[in-house]
Amino acid sequence: MSHHFIRFRDVHYTYPGGYEALRGVSFLITHGEKVALLGLNGAGKSTLLLHTDGILMATSGEVNIGDVPVTRKTLPVVRSHVGLLFQNPDDQLFMPTVEDDVAFGPRNMNLPEEEVERRVSTALEAVGATALRRRRPFNLSGGQKRMVAIAGVLAMEPMILVMDEPTSNLDPGARRRVIELVRGFDHTCLIATHDLDMAAELCPRSMVMAEGRIIADGPTDEILSDIETLTAAGLWPR
């Protein structure tokens, strides 16, 4: 069976403090689909994405990556399939140099060092960050950090790309580069974003979240022209 799909079945998630951030989320994203996840600040987008590679585990309900249920036992296999870009690059970058950060995932997969080097060079080149290779991630600008974090995800060569706000803080050239990278990625892709123009350009399908639920799921052009849905999601001024 394909490993390239993401299935949520009636997923609920309550944070340790007691806030229920996911309130019965169900969907299926099949192989090769590019899907945008839209919704106001606090709607639950990041919480949902963190379930795709088991950073958070459903309080109830089920998350599957292909035929693999996301559980503590399956984390290594799930994480070898899913490349997750965090909303905040500071959560992703922790090594002393950019190249070590990008190499971290491939090294953890026990790939031969030549293959690690090939992936690091290719990924840094793809995001236009080759010149940052020996810099300290900690000292980079916000946009540079994001591009390096994207390189780290690409270096894993995942079958499923999950990105949380990939274009925030990027200058127009860097934003364009990210859009073209995602366009060229021919596997499954789920992207949380406030960049509705990017959603329209890249993702044939959008899901809209409000208060921990998916309130619309369909063709992006229909969703973005449906004022009622956008208003309900807070994406359109009342």
Ligand X SMILES: Nc1ncnc2c1ncn2[C@@H]1O[C@H](COP(=O)(O)OP(=O)(O)OP(=O)(O)O)[C@@H](O)[C@H]1O
Residues that bind ligand X (CB under 6 A): 15, 17, 19, 21, 39, 41-47, 87
Beta carbon of residue 63, minimum distance to ligand X (angstroms, whole number) = 15
Please report how close the Cβ of residue 87 comes to Mg ion at its closest, in angstroms. 5
Residue 8 CB, shortest distance to ligand X, in Å, is 14
Among the listed residues 181, 235, 222, 192, the one whose alpha carbon sits nearest the alpha carbon of residue 36: 192
The one among 34, 35, 46, 189 contacting Mg ion by CB under 5 A: 46
Q: Which two tokens stand for residue 122?
A: 């290719």
Q: 14 or 122: whose CB is closer to ligand X? A: 14
206 part of the interface to Mg ion, by CB under 5 A: no
Q: Is 144 in the site for Mg ion (CB under 5 A)?
A: no
The phi, psi pair for 22, rounded to 5°, reads -120, 130
Radius of gyration for the alpha carbons in the chain, expressed in angstroms and rounded: 17
Does position 167 interact with Mg ion (CB under 5 A)? The reply is no
H or E element: which one contains 136?
none
Output 6 or 43, the one with its CB closest to ligand X: 43
CA nearest neighbour of 12 among 47, 51, 61: 61
236 binds, among Mg ion, ligand X, none (CB under 5 to 8 A by kind): none
CB of 168 to ligand X, least distance (A): 9
Query: By three-state DSSP, how is residue 191 classified?
Result: strand
Task: State the chain's maximal CA–CA distance in angstroms.
Answer: 56
By a kind-dependent CB cut-off of 5 to 8 A, residue 43 interacts, out of ligand X, Mg ion, none, with: ligand X
User: What is the per-residue binding string for Mg ion in 3-42, x denoting contact by CB under 5 A?
Assistant: ----------------------------------------
In the chain, the amino acid numbered 109 is: M
Q: Which of residues 77-106 bind Mg ion (CB under 5 A)?
A: 87
Q: Distance between CA atoms of 214 and 23, rounded to whole angstroms?
A: 9
Report which of 200, 214, 231, 238 is spatially closest to residue 47, judged by C-alpha positions. Answer: 214
Selection from Mg ion, ligand X, none that 166 binds (CB < 5 to 8 A by kind) is none
N-terminal to C-terminal alpha carbon distance within the chain: 45
Least distance to ligand X from the beta carbon of 232, Å? 15
Q: Which option in Mg ion, ligand X, none does residue 15 bind, with CB closer than 5 to 8 A by kind?
A: ligand X
Q: Are strands 213-219 and 205-210 parallel, antiparallel or unpaired?
A: antiparallel
